[in-house]
């Protein structure tokens, strides 16, 4: 394990170790404490909203680079991380399961940790990592060989290292962990390999497993070292023994709603993609062919891992419309508690905050072809002719009828996090307008091998743009404004009390938009495509903004015709930090 430490700086930090430790109170109030960011999402509700307004519509024109830090070497590829900030130090995860500690005043490296990854790892969608979690003197992140590592935040030394799952079976881990009441909450990745999705909780001090909740029906949960309860009911919605390799990877992590004390976790595609193997018929009364709890959102008790409620966005899913996208708790204009999620299937859903029940849904991308809409219960109204054909019904038996489906399997929205503004009451959703030719093929499960049973190729549906950042009213589904981009949008979004929306593009532009109109007020060319997640914080009375630039992720790997359209984009790996100088902020007053 390569481990580089700048000895003098690390020694000074170690001497001050007792001065500051991340507490549950710090984590719970992260969304309102302006000089730190210790959670993914800038708060466990994932609103990605900052109350800072030093930087605003008038002053953003004066935002200038403060420092830049290179992730170095040949280990580039996609950089999808969200930085954390605490006690004068920024913590960044990088591709290939690396972590860096950086001095926020100077941009100088304090230490670097590289996981020693084995041969044969099976990451689906690039060698990315989306961030870390903090507790006490620990900074905790996951690795591509499905391990969870806790490091001393002052020195980078390993405190504990535990296995989430067996990478040789197709498991990996790419999400940022979440900490709730001293428990580290994780999911798993590997939905294309016939794994079984699960949510797990570990003691943050030791890494010892406290509870485990598989998300596919028929599997047994675990609590305090003993079997607890079965997930769902065996064979209620799965035929035969297909539940044993049922997919449902929890690969994006989750949110936590403190108001209801509920972990909300999304689940991925059922396995295999070929839905005829899991459900040969048309939709039935009830949920006999739904393949629970794949392509769903789950409300989970953080103390026991028991499922309190579920909402399935795409029953008997057959287009790779994972249900993992983040669920954000918020209070609407009428004062009602709500949950919002923009699904890969192209619909924006609002659920009841108390029990996850369906409230409403609207399309947020154009030309959706697999469903006519969503009925009053929240179930899709399927277009049966747009389900990929059954290979067993084809004359050759080796390929079913191909269909052109919208959105593509990379989704109307994929992993890239949206943001909510407490200023406007709007959600800012990074979306993409594309479709795919998709067909089904025969497939059998083999451990550690891809378990798809489908072929596909992605195509844009408009000539002039693919990416679209949309401001959406969660009370009506109305799209208030739209910012269009030639290449697909694949990075996160942040909003601020200063009336700004920050995001980045694959072309390398880091931009700030007016949250009411969508007008671009500021931009900076970072030199590589942005697929990272921006943050902002206050230091010595000045407001700073950081984003990590580095093109990659699923689009250049899986994007078909779209990937060819953007194959000129350069990889990279740079942490860009900007500041609004105090004197320039005053000039704008």
Catalytically active residues are 320
Q: d(Cα 365, Cα 346) in Å, to the nearest integer?
A: 6
Give the residues across from 102 on adjacent strands.
90, 109
10 Å Cβ neighbour count for 1? Answer: 9
Beta strands in 489-541 (DSSP E): 494-496, 500-504, 509-514, 520-525, 535-539
Q: d(Cα 270, Cα 277) in Å, to the nearest integer?
A: 11
Q: Which helix (DSSP H) or strand (DSSP E) does residue 586 occupy?
A: helix 582-587
Write out 300-355 in H/E/C secondary structure: ECCCCCCEEEEEECCCCCCCCCCECCCCEEEECCCCCEEEEEECCCCEEEEEECCC
Give the dihedral of Cα atoms 228, 322, 333, 178; nearest 10 deg: 50
Residue 125 to residues 9, 320, 570, Cα–Cα distance (Å): 36, 14, 18
Q: d(Cα 563, Cα 153) in Å, to the nearest integer?
A: 38
Main-chain phi, psi angles of 144, to 5 degrees:
-70, -20
Write out 152-178 in H/E/C secondary structure: ECCCCCEEEEEECCCHHHCCECCCCCE
Main-chain phi, psi angles of 516, to 5 degrees:
-95, -30
10 Å Cβ neighbour count for 541? Answer: 8
Q: How far is CA 393 from the centre of its chain?
A: 37
Q: d(Cα 291, Cα 270) in Å, to the nearest integer?
A: 7
Q: How far is CA 157 from the centre of its chain?
A: 27
């Amino acid at each position: 394990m390569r481990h580089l430490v700048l000895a003098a700086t690390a020694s000074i930090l170690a001497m001050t170790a007792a001065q500051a430790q991340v507490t549950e109170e710090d984590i719970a109030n992260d969304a309102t404490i302006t000089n730190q960011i210790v959670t993914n999402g800038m708060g466990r509700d994932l609103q990605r909203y900052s109350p800072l307004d030093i930087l605003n519509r008038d002053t953003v024109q004066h935002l200038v680079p403060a420092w830049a830090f290179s992730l170095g070497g040949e280990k580039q590829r996609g950089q999808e991380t969200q930085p954390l900030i605490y006690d004068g130090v920024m913590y960044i995860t990088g591709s290939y399961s690396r972590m860096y500690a950086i001095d926020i005043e100077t941009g100088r490296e304090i230490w670097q940790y590289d996981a020693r990854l084995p041969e044969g790892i099976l990451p689906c969608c690039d060698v990315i990592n989306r961030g870390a979690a903090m507790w006490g003197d620990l900074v905790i992140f996951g690795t591509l060989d499905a391990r969870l590592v806790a490091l001393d935040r002052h020195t980078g030394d390993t405190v504990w290292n535990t296995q989430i799952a067996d990478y040789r079976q197709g498991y990996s881990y790419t999400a940022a962990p979440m900490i709730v009441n001293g428990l580290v909450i994780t999911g798993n990745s590997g939905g294309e390999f016939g794994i079984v999705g699960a949510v797990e909780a570990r003691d943050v001090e030791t890494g010892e497993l406290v509870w485990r909740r598989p998300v596919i029906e028929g599997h047994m949960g675990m609590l305090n070292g003993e079997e607890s309860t079965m997930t769902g009911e065996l064979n209620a919605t799965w035929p035969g023994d297909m539940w044993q390799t049922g997919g449902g990877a929890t690969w994006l992590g989750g949110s936590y709603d403190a108001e209801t004390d509920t972990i909300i976790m999304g689940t991925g595609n059922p396995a295999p993609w070929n839905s005829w193997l899991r459900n040969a018929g048309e939709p039935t009364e009830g949920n006999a062919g739904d393949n629970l709890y794949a392509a769903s959102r789950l409300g989970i008790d953080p103390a026991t891992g028991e499922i309190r409620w579920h909402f399935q966005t795409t029953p008997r899913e057959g287009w790779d419309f994972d249900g993992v996208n983040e669920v954000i708790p918020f209070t609407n204009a009428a004062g009602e508690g709500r949950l919002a999620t923009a699904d890969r299937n192209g619909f924006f859903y609002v659920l009841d905050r108390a029990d996850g029940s369906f409230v409403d849904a609207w399309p947020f991308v154009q030309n959706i072809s697999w469903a006519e809409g969503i009925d009053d219960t929240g179930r899709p109204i399927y277009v049966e002719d747009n389900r990929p054909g059954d290979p067993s019904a084809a004359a050759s038996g080796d390929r079913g009828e191909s269909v052109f489906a919208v959105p593509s399997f990379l989704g109307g929205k994929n992993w890239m996090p949206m943001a909510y503004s407490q200023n406007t009451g709007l959600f800012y959703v990074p979306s993409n307008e594309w479709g795919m030719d998709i067909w089904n093929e025969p497939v059998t499960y083999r451990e550690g091998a891809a378990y798809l049973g489908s072929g596909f190729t992605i195509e844009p549906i408009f000539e002039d743009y693919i990416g679209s950042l949309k401001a959406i009213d969660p009370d009506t589904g109305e799209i208030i404004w739209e910012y269009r981009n030639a290449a697909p949008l694949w990075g996160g979004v942040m909003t601020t009390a200063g009336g700004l929306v920050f995001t980045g593009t694959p072309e390398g532009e880091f931009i700030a938009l007016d949250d009411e109109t969508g007008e671009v007020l500021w931009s900076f060319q970072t030199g590589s495509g942005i697929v990272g997640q921006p943050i902002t914080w206050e230091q010595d009375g000045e407001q700073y903004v950081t984003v990590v630039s580095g093109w990659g992720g699923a689009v250049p790997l899986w994007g078909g015709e779209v990937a060819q359209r953007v194959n000129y984009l350069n990889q990279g790996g740079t942490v860009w930090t900007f500041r609004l100088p105090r004197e320039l902020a005053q000039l704008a007053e």
